[in-house]
A and B are shown apart, each in its own frame.
Chain A
Amino acid sequence: GDSVTQMEGPVTLSEEAFLTINCTYTATGYPSLFWYVQYPGEGLQLLLKATKADDKGSNKGFEATYRKETTSFHLEKGSVQVSDSAVYFCALRGDSSYKLIFGSGTRLLVRP
């Protein structure tokens, strides 16, 4: 079945460091790919998405490119801030499905 694998955390970075959180997926057809974020004490929020191969999703300085050849959707940010500290979830939705399939989440801690 469809699945998502993302790097285990926690990831600890200093402010202004470069961030990469790896995400790979297994799916049939052409899934849509998502990154969700959960800030401390809050619910899940959609951070960015891509619906077809080579699409780049971006938001709040974060980017991820849908790479079908490597079945990946890695999250990147050039310069992280303390306020980016959160848990990040990679997810996919099959092209004929309504449900989301999530990875296990990666906790990011950014230190001043």
Chain B
Amino acid sequence: EAGVTQFPSHSVIEKGQTVTLRCDPISGHDNLYWYRRVMGKEIKFLLHFVKESKQDESGMPNNRFLAERTGGTYSTLKVQPAELEDSGVYFCASSQDRPTEAFFGQGTRLTVV
């Protein structure tokens, strides 16, 4: 069974540009989460999808971040325009219907220069 897959693994962009991160959850997992680790600090929750609906987006830092999950399958996280402080590792995770174990992807390392 394939795990959670994230693309790209690394991205380096200039301040002001746009970047889109993608996450493919484990097949059949209705719950999809985005997290971020900035500058070696704690991993922070960004948002939670149940199928295609945003269940909790309380962790989204500002309106430069837009997450979508069309059709309840893969998800994208767009940062537009990117700022220096957006640099970090973005993790995606998925889980089944009940809040059981969340499986994480390898993360996307984003560097804004």
> Footprint of B on A, CB under 8 Å?
4, 36, 42-46, 49, 89, 91, 93, 97-105
Interface size counted on chain B using CB atoms at 8 A: 26
Q: Is the CB–CB distance between B43 and A89 below 8 Å? A: yes
B31 to A, closest residue via Cβ: A98
- Which of A44, A45, A100 has the most chain B CB within a 10 Å cutoff? A44
Q: How far is the CA of A49 from the CA of B103 in the complex (A)?
A: 13
Whether A100 lies near B102 (C-beta < 8 A) is: yes
Closest to A98 in B: B99
B99 touches A46 (CB 8 A): no
| Inter-subunit contact B40/A105 (CB<8 Å) | yes
Bound: A104/B39 CA distance, A: 10
Q: Is the CB of A43 within 8 A of B56?
A: no
Question: A residues within 8 A CB of B42?
Answer: 4, 89, 102-105
Kindly provide the distance from the CB of B45 to the nearest chain A CB, expressed in whole angstroms. Answer: 4
Closest CB in chain A relative to B55 CB, distance in Å: 7
